[in-house]
Amino acid sequence: MNPQQFKMEIPWQFYSDEEDKLFDHCQVCGKYLLDEGTDYVVEKAIRSYEGHDFYSTAYEYAICLDCHQDIQKGMSEESMNNLQKYYNEIMAKKEQPLAIDLHHFDLNEWLSKCFFTGKRVDEMKEYQLVAQFSGKQMMLNMPPLVIGETVIEEMAGLLSDKTIDEMNDFRDRFLGPSPDIEELVFGKRLILI
Ligand SMILES: [Zn+2]
């Protein structure tokens, strides 16, 4: 398939819940994101309520690829190696292929369960959504990820103190105070993939 087709219109799941529209600026440097060819990442932490059909967003942001790489550089080598190893191990156990078959791709189904474990999000209290975008398109060559609560905790456990400090610093500077964020991040749970 033509690689240029590995993208789609940005689905509502990756809109800003706060503003009810597409994210249009990098949370860190303020760069405008919706011009063609501008690459960025959107990350959201979602709270769900067991047995109910609604959810709330604990935090959400868009960040341009340059800033994203800067933040990753702030992660210690130890943390990066640990996360890479964890990722490789979990991927080796997975049965479903990483690649998306666009002919049969059902985004709602894809986003209904943890990318790593297959556990359904409606059975979780919390999960994260991460995807890559370019202008007004969602890129599918790096598929959108649902990261379930178990995986979030396991990944957080692999981070060095130095990396956790960096993440807390990021939160203080760019996400602002919020009780939900306090809980998530001081619980060592903000993961930047
Ligand atoms: Zn930026």
Does some domain include residue 191? no
Distance (angstroms) between ligand 1 centre and the Cα of 2 equals 29
pTM value is 0.83
SS3 content of the chain, % helix, strand, coil (to 5): 35, 25, 40
pLDDT digits (tens, 9 = 90+) for 42-55: 999 898 776 677 78
Distance (angstroms) between ligand 1 centre and the Cα of 13 equals 21
How far the first Cα of the chain sits from its last, in Å, is 27
d(CA 152, CA 155): 5
DSSP per-residue string spanning 158-171 = TS-HHHHHHHHHHI
Does some domain include residue 178? yes
What single DSSP character describes residue 11?
Answer: P
Does some domain include residue 59? yes
Which of 66, 55, 60 minimizes the C-alpha distance to 112? Answer: 55
What pLDDT score was predicted for residue 24?
A: 97
Does some domain include residue 193? no
Which of 17, 19, 37 minimizes the C-alpha distance to 139? Answer: 37
What pLDDT score was predicted for residue 173?
A: 81
Domain that includes residue 130, residue range: 3-186
The tokens describing 136, both together, are 């007004």
Does some domain include residue 36? yes
Residue 138, Ramachandran bin (φ over 0: left; ψ between -120 and 50: alpha; else beta):
beta
Does some domain include residue 70? yes
Confidence class of residue 183 from pLDDT cuts 50, 70 and 90? very low
**Which segment, 7-21, 39-53, 151-165, is predicted with the most confidence on average?**
7-21
The tokens describing 31, both together, are 């760069």
Distance (angstroms) between ligand 1 centre and the Cα of 30 equals 6
Does some domain include residue 130? yes
Distance (angstroms) between ligand 1 centre and the Cα of 111 equals 26
**Helices marked H in 31-64:** none
In this predicted model, which residue has the larger pLDDT, 190 or 128? 128
Q: Domains in the chain: how many in total?
A: 1
pLDDT digits (tens, 9 = 90+) for 56-92: 888 889 999 999 888 878 778 888 888 888 888 887 8
- Considering the chain, what percentage of its residues have pLDDT values greater than 90? 31
Does some domain include residue 192? no
